[in-house]
Amino acid sequence: MTEPISSTTAEHYHWGAGCDGWHLVRSPSLSVIEERMPPRTEEVRHRHARSRQFFFVLDGVLSIEVEGAAHSMTPGTGLEVPPGHAHQVHNNADHPVRFLVISQPPSHGDREVTPPR
């Protein structure tokens, strides 16, 4: 039987410089992760060969660069990143940002670091 899940009950992990992630769905075909980035943090620019990702902002402002195009996303907005597209998320604000990363198939083990723009 499936039970409700939240960031208080999900498997937690740390990444980057003080960033957090919670596995809300973790299956061989789908990954849903809630992430939190403190102010002035960023992820390494990278691409996925197979994984299609969707970033959806819950709170704060998420900056994301995809293939050289910069996007600033606020709560209630999202952005799809197709396989093969280099991207990098940033929190350029003075407040934390919370967002969902939905990947199909899961992106773990499917990441190639790319040079910064």
pTM of the predicted protein model: 0.94
The tens digit of pLDDT for each residue in 20-38 reads: 999 999 999 999 999 999 9
User: Which pLDDT score, from 0 to 100, does residue 71 have?
Assistant: 98
User: Which pLDDT score, from 0 to 100, does residue 80 have?
Assistant: 98
For tokens 């990947």, the residue is: 103
Contact present, 60 and 98 (Cβ < 8 Å): yes
Per residue of the chain (117 residues), what is the pLDDT tens digit? 588 999 999 999 999 999 999 999 999 999 999 999 999 999 999 999 999 999 999 999 999 999 999 999 999 999 999 999 999 999 999 999 999 999 999 998 899 999 887
Neighbours of 83 (CB within 10 A): 15
User: Which pLDDT score, from 0 to 100, does residue 38 have?
Assistant: 98
Rounded Cα distance between 8 and 29, Å, is 24
User: Which pLDDT score, from 0 to 100, does residue 1 have?
Assistant: 54
